[in-house]
Chains A and B, each alone.
Chain A
Amino acid sequence: DGGITQSPKYLFRKEGQNVTLSCEQNLNHDAMYWYRQDPGQGLRLIYYSQIVNDFQKGDIAEGYSVSREKKESFPLTVTSAQKNPTAFYLCASRGTGVTGELFFGEGSRLTVL
């Protein structure tokens, strides 16, 4: 089935450790996105990539890094510089249609102890 796969679904880490969240899509979409979701704050854009080997900062990029070496993969690293990393992280992709909607993965819940 076509879709977006995020892993792991749940992740626990100690403070000061870097963490990498995986996002893979087989929809042949060019654009991919990472959002952070916190209670009462909706979705905030961290990074996005419109094409392989290129990505842009979103609204809350500080403390995060990404790479886009392959079309189907867009991993997110939560670094130790991110002051409040505990959150639900959502990866999405978008087709090239003019009014294309986002397709989301099931999310990764990161808890920093």
Chain B
Amino acid sequence: GNSVTQMEGPVTLSEEAFLTINCTYTATGYPSLFWYVQYPGEGLQLLLKATKADDKGSNKGFEATYRKETTSFHLEKGSVQVSDSAVYFCALGANGANSKLTFGKGITLSVRP
């Protein structure tokens, strides 16, 4: 079945540091890949997505590239801000209206001033 593995957390960075959060996946076929963000006490919001190999999703300075050869979808940001402190989830979903999303365990990012 499908699965998503995220790097262990939590991660603590200083403001303006470079961020990488690793995500690898196991899936049959060609799923879509997603990064969601959850701010304290809230639900999840879609941060970015990629629907096929070599696609790059980007939003709010975050980027992730769909790498089929390494089955990865690592999240990066060149300069983090305190407001980026949140929990980040990697997810995959098989294409098609009847599919479900499979989530990683999430990783907590704390950015200090």
Question: Do A and B actually bind?
Answer: yes
**Which residue numbers of A lie inside 8 Å of B, CB to CB?**
4, 6, 30-31, 33, 35, 40-43, 45, 48, 50, 58, 90, 92, 94, 96-107
How many B residues touch the partner, as a band?
Answer: 20 to 34
- How far apart are the CA atoms of A57 and B50 in the complex, in Å? 28
Contact A42 B103 (CB under 8 A): yes
- How far apart are the CA atoms of A102 and B47 in the complex, in Å? 11
Smallest Cβ distance from A39 to chain B, in angstroms? Answer: 9
Q: Which residues of B contact A50 (CB under 8 A)?
A: 97-98
User: Which of B45, B49, B106 is A42 in contact with, Cβ under 8 Å?
Assistant: B106
Known contacts A43-B103, A105-B43; A98 and B89 CB within 8 A of each other: no
B83-102 contact mask (Cβ, 8 Å, vs A): 1 or 0: 00000010001011110110
Please give me the residue from chain B that is nearest to A48 by CB atom: B100
**Which residue numbers of B lie inside 8 Å of A, CB to CB?**
32, 34, 36, 41-46, 49, 51, 89, 93, 95-98, 100-101, 103-106
Known contacts A90-B43, A107-B42, A107-B43; A100 and B97 CB within 8 A of each other: yes
Known contacts A43-B89, A90-B43, A107-B43; A102 and B51 CB within 8 A of each other: no
7 shortest A-B CB distances, which residue pairs?
Answer: A104-B43, A42-B105, A43-B103, A99-B32, A99-B51, A104-B44, A106-B43
Known contacts A98-B95, A101-B34, A106-B43; A41 and B105 CB within 8 A of each other: yes
